[in-house]
Structure 1
């Protein structure tokens, strides 16, 4: 149910009820990791082929739209139209159910997609775009998990919101958050190690890293140290995208490496929480459109946090 609801991948869910809905929403971050992984492959392939970070980011974000049938983006536009209408709850919900899109929805889509693409392009230019993209996708679906926790009502009796609202207990939500943070920490460390190995022997970073390992005794070598080559300040990129920031982060071996996903997840959940509270106050609860809007908003905020941190 989690895969079938949150992605385009064809599956045959078993029993579809509120109990299954609660489990599916608790597993939503895993679906986010799957979607983010596929989009990260597209992003990495485009960068490897020499595509600019901006265009590669557009392709990656477009891939996510395809993998979700653009349902989250549709929910974002519908919620913007509903909240922007300024009408009472029932009338605002009617606005959200319409098939057309209003000016509030158009502007919101342009701004949110613009933030996602711009932040991802900046992260890609710095060499950590794939990690940031996966973190954003996981955070977006984690926002859905928390929006379905106990105590959050549904705005109307029918639809996806009514099936999953209030079905996730606090324990599973906390467990999903902890597992997401651990997974992102492992992914970050693996990516940093991979980035270090991809640096050319004459990369300017190699000399700095070799000096660091010799003084700090981390036991991790670099190509400059292993090959004994002289660092050349003129070389600082691989296929046009610098990997030094990722390797430099690992070289510092700060505890920040282990908790790199924390700022992204925290920023995404905070932004989603503000939007969810606003939606619940205005509409009386959550709907499927609200869940989609939360996913896109949290993803955008997580990407911004990644760019600001690195």
Structure 2
């Protein structure tokens, strides 16, 4: 989830995978902190809001090695390639980005950039950046909830697909929304709205992928993270 080196687990199975997906919020704290610090520092030295937004989004991308952005582009290429499930999955497996993936990546980043710029201009950019990054990782528990299958018999999707009990996925959402009521600089109801909109955006993409691809893949997880961040930033702005 981040580029921060940590010791490998002694074993990797569905139980370990489920815990990892459920605790995506915790793993994302360094990324959220980095985004918030960049926004705060940019404001303190008087940088223009667009420059600060670009630097903050760049810091998050750097901190995750662009993994989720790559997943978004591959997912878009797969969904746009063919109505044939096998061909769509093959396109996603290649890893190179076609015009659909590039256009989707640019447009989603533009939405994130514009929304964060607006939030910074309104004086709550730090809160917006932190909430959006954390919300984007919380949705991983939704994407890996029980009964959501993997699109392939191998790969990351096969390891984490359906590994999170529905009650745990629901608890992650409730806790995230409850903690968001304490978000500084926002009315108490605005934080939970940010979380809800981020989840709704990810759920729309998730539903489309499950219907078209037959389940989730690692790329789908990355795509849902980035779409959730965009939705959360829009709500925050």
Could you state the TM-score of these two structures normalised by the residue count of structure 1? 0.74
Offset at residue 32 of structure 1 (A):
2.8
Q: Distance in 2 between the 1:164 and 1:32 partners?
A: 18
Unaligned runs of 5+ in 2: none
Determine which of 237, 255, 276 is the counterpart of 2:206.
Answer: 276
Report what 1:11 is aligned to.
6
**Matches of 2:69 and 2:129 in 1, distance apart?**
17
Larger Rg: 1
Q: Secondary structure at the match of 1:168?
A: coil
Give the Cα–Cα distance (whole angstroms) in 2 for the partners of residues 174 and 99 of structure 1: 32
Runs of 4+ in 1 over 4 A off after TM superposition: none
Question: Is the aligned partner of 1:287 residue 2:217?
Answer: yes
Indicate how the Cα distance of structure 1 residues 62 and 43 shifts in structure 2: closer, same or farther if over 3 A, else same.
same
Name the CA distance, whole Å, in 2 between partners of 1:259 and 1:163.
36
Contact conserved, 2:181 with 2:191, CA < 8 A, in 1?
yes
When the two chains are superposed, the root-mean-square deviation of aligned CA atoms in Å is 1.2
Show structure 1 runs of 5+ residues with no match.
1-5, 193-245, 247-256
| Partner residue in 2 for 1:173 | 169
Q: CA deviation at 1:13?
A: 2.7
TM-score, normalisation: structure 2: 0.96
Matches within 5 A, 1:45-60: 45-60=41-56
Contact 1:76–1:105 (CA under 8 A) maintained in structure 2? yes
Conserved 8 A contact 2:178-2:192: no
Aligned to 2:195: 265
1:225-264 deviation line (CA, Å, top 9, x unaligned): xxxxxxxxxxxxxxxxxxxxx6xxxxxxxxxx33322111
